[in-house]
Amino acid sequence: MTNAAVTFFSCASEDLSGIMRLMTFHSLLDIIFPRFCAGCGKKAGDGFLYLCWDCLAGIKTVQPPYCALCGDPVAGSVPEVYSCAACVRQRPYFDCARSACAYTGLLKEMILDFKYGAAVWLAHDLGSLLYACLRQNYNADNLDCITYVPLHRAKERTRSYNQSLLLAKEIGGRLNRRVAACLARTEPTESQTHLTAPERAANVRNKFAARKGADLKDKNILLIDDVMTTGATANECARTLKKAGAREVLVLTVARG
């Protein structure tokens, strides 16, 4: 494991007061309901509820060099501030986007289970990775609002939860901040999974609106989602927030695809 990765995972497990409370609580529960690692099935650790340290070490974190705007990693050495071709061609509406880990291997499996398999118990561990990324890249004191990418109401009824809201609540709890529902998805959209970058952008265009009563004027907003691929959804959300008066939109996701 690289020094950068060690630092990242140290940040992810440094919520000491929360961890101590969880250790006390879960040490009692573990006697009756033992926790097992989502990766290997062995006994889970204490800092992470459903990951052992060996499997945690196998998760690939997103480290520099990457695009200064969208956070897309680039191979090789980049000696200066770098902007990717997509951001140079069309600057995104968000001011910065950062992701904790690469969307591959065990982390990808965890996110898929969390998102589609109702494995909501993984929210804490994914939230810890998200929190580490926040600490490394953003100044929480400058944030006025924490929000999330909404689901269309029909999809949320079917799924019974919004995974991005659960992640936002994990961050809100660690920062002792309220999570605000700033956006609504006005129309259902096709899954982005098999679409090209232009198709993804068209699929979500004009599909979001600022919620009535949301106070966004001159606010610095943290927008949370689970995975960022081309950034089309985050960009459209940011465009909507900026149109409603937001000063700055920072994007934070667990994974980068």
**What confidence tier does 245 reach under pLDDT thresholds 50, 70, 90?**
very high
Q: Please choose, from the candidates 257, 238, 191, the residue with its C-alpha nearest in 3D space to the C-alpha of residue 95.
A: 238
First to last CA, the chain: 21
Distance CA 86, CA 94 (A): 14
- Provide the 10 A C-beta neighbour count for residue 161: 14
- The residue-averaged pLDDT of 45-57 equals 87
- What is the pTM for the complete model shown? 0.88
pLDDT of residue 76: 82
Q: What is the average pLDDT value for the chain, to the nearest integer?
A: 89
Q: What φ, ψ does residue 147 adopt, rounded to 5°? A: -140, -170
**What confidence tier does 44 reach under pLDDT thresholds 50, 70, 90?**
confident
pLDDT of residue 189: 87
pLDDT of residue 141: 96
The label of the residue with tokens 């118990």 reads 121
Q: Which fold has domain 85-122+132-256?
A: Rossmann fold (3.40.50)
Domain ranges of the chain: 3-57, 85-122+132-256
pLDDT of residue 29: 52
User: Which tens digits make up the pLDDT trace of 192-240?
Assistant: 888 899 999 999 999 999 999 999 999 999 999 999 999 999 999 999 9
pLDDT of residue 126: 98
pLDDT of residue 142: 96
- Provide the 10 A C-beta neighbour count for residue 34: 10
Measured in whole angstroms, how far is the alpha carbon of residue 56 from the centre of its chain? 17
| Strand 220-228 to 248-256 pairing | parallel
**What confidence tier does 8 reach under pLDDT thresholds 50, 70, 90?**
low
